[in-house]
Structure 1
Amino acid sequence: MKEYKLSGWPELPVAYQRTAYQRMLHQMSQGFVPLAQLVRASGLSRDVVRVFLAQLGQRGVLMERERAGTPLALQMAARPFAWLRRTVTGTRTPRT
């Protein structure tokens, strides 16, 4: 899965000067972001976001990379309540 980041702030045509696009640009200016996160942040469809990313790529301000590993959310979902088991099995002192 790919992640995207801005290498520079683009001059956008009027069609892209909306809040949804500004949100995506802001997120990509902070670091690499997967497509799904851009879709959630903007509220736009996946296809519209892909077209926008293609526009940024043509302008030469978009960097892409393959996602490094499994997202933290998926790691935690694979081990539900692991943090709770560690907490419960810890040493307890009796209450008086």
Structure 2
Amino acid sequence: MKEYKLSGWPELPVAYQRTAYQRMLHQMSQGFVPLAQLLRASGLGREAVRQFLGRLNASGVLLERDHAEAPRALTAAGRSLEWLRRTLRPHPPRHL
């Protein structure tokens, strides 16, 4: 599965200056985003999103990568958070 990210802010024609397209641009400006997330964020159909991505690619502002597993640092961070959750979980009161 591919993920998409902006490398710069594009100049868009009026037809693409709608909220749906702005939402996608915002998502991609924050980091790599899979197609499914762009579909949800925009509310547009798959073909409209693909055409928009094609336009961004032609403008030279779209970075594309194959989705890989989470980097090790993120996996380690997730384990650290799980430890923290277990540590902070409320414990029953002790009776002395």
What TM-score comes out, normalization by structure 2 length?
0.73
Structure 1 segments (4+ residues) deviating >6 Å: 91-95
2:54 is the alignment partner of 1:68: no
Where do residues 32-71 of structure 1 align in structure 2 (5 Å cutoff)?
32-69=32-69
Segments of 5+ residues of structure 1 without an aligned counterpart are 71-85
Aligned CA RMSD, in angstroms, stands at 2.5
Segments of 5+ residues of structure 2 without an aligned counterpart are 71-85
Kindly state the Cα deviation for residue 93 of structure 1 after the two structures are TM-superposed: 6.7
Q: 2:20 and 2:11 mapped to 1: Cα distance?
A: 15
Give the length in aligned residue pairs.
81
Equivalent residue number for residue 81 of structure 1: none
What TM-score comes out, normalization by structure 1 length?
0.73
